Homo-oligomer: A and B are copies of this chain.
Amino acid sequence: METDVTKVCHEDCATPPAGRRVAGEDPVKREQILDGAKRVFMEQGFDAASMNDITRAAGVSKGTIYVYFENKEDLFAELIQRERYRITESARHALDADVSVREALRSFGILFATHLTSEYTIKAMRMVISVNQRMPNLACTFLSATPMNPVSVLKGYLERQVAKGTLVIDDPELAARQFLELATVGFFKYRLFGTMDAPPPQSEIERVVDGGIRVFLAAYDGHGARA
């Protein structure tokens, strides 16, 4: 019995938080508020950010924010909903190109590792993690279950390769997760905890991704050749 982590999500995890307000329909103003909130939240974190700061950054009044969003948590949740796509969609085209498996994995791995260690991603993730106790569904939604979820995308790609006989893989989802981990080998953790205080340099990412591909293909290469 296996757990498909791309689908595990309890309750209404993936549904947008209910209770859309009646007032506050102007989408431009809405974006304006979210932009200001993003700036402030990213800089200060959820708790340290004050609604006054956001008011100032967004250039709207306090009352207006409360017309468009129920409260601070709601504002944050909607912001994260919006940002989710920006964070997860980036790698989806890397596997489209008509290149060798090795090269495709390389581009994909580098893109993924670069993205996952970026200041922006790390800050957003830290925030989402830090409000986890108060807003459990938010983090849940944030990480998983989008159609462009990297695991799903890579899994699809691996399945196509298996069909073509290029790769030999029993459990494509596990393999996809393995590859993603091999491509980052703890970078994510080190970044999240601040042990690395900046994204790793491009050369380091390439070194790690190449090492990961070597291991990955040693196990899954369909041609019998050691990578």
Query: Does A185 contact B193, Cβ atoms closer than 8 Å?
Result: no
A interface, size bucket: 35 or more
Chain B residues, CB < 8 A from A130: 45, 47, 126, 129-131
Chain B residues, CB < 8 A from A182: 178, 181-182
Query: Does A219 contact B208, Cβ atoms closer than 8 Å?
Result: no
Query: Does A188 contact B189, Cβ atoms closer than 8 Å?
Result: yes
Residue of B nearest to A180 (CB): B186
Q: How far is the CA of A158 from the CA of B77 in the complex (A)?
A: 44
Total copies of this chain within the assembly: 4
Interface residue from B143, B177, B203, B214 paired with A185 (Cβ < 8 Å): B177
Binds B, one of A24-32, A90-98, A99-107, A134-142: A134-142
Query: Does B186 contact A177, Cβ atoms closer than 8 Å?
Result: yes
Query: Does A193 contact B134, Cβ atoms closer than 8 Å?
Result: no
Query: Does B133 contact A44, Cβ atoms closer than 8 Å?
Result: yes
Task: Kindly state whether residue A15 has any CB partner on chain B within 8 Å.
Answer: no
Residue of B nearest to A42 (CB): B133
Chain B residues, CB < 8 A from A8: 190, 195-196
Query: Does A133 contact B48, Cβ atoms closer than 8 Å?
Result: yes
Pull 24 A–B residue pairs with CB atoms less than 8 Å apart, ordered by A. A5-B186, A5-B190, A8-B196, A10-B197, A43-B133, A45-B131, A45-B133, A47-B130, A48-B134, A126-B129, A126-B132, A129-B193, A130-B131, A132-B192, A139-B194, A139-B195, A140-B195, A143-B190, A144-B195, A177-B185, A178-B211, A178-B212, A215-B219, A215-B220
* Other A-B pairs, 9, CB within 8 Å; known A126-B132, A181-B186: A3-B196, A125-B193, A140-B193, A140-B194, A142-B193, A178-B181, A215-B215, A215-B219, A219-B219
Q: 6 closest A-B pairs (Cβ-Cβ)? A: A130-B130, A181-B181, A218-B219, A215-B219, A47-B47, A177-B185
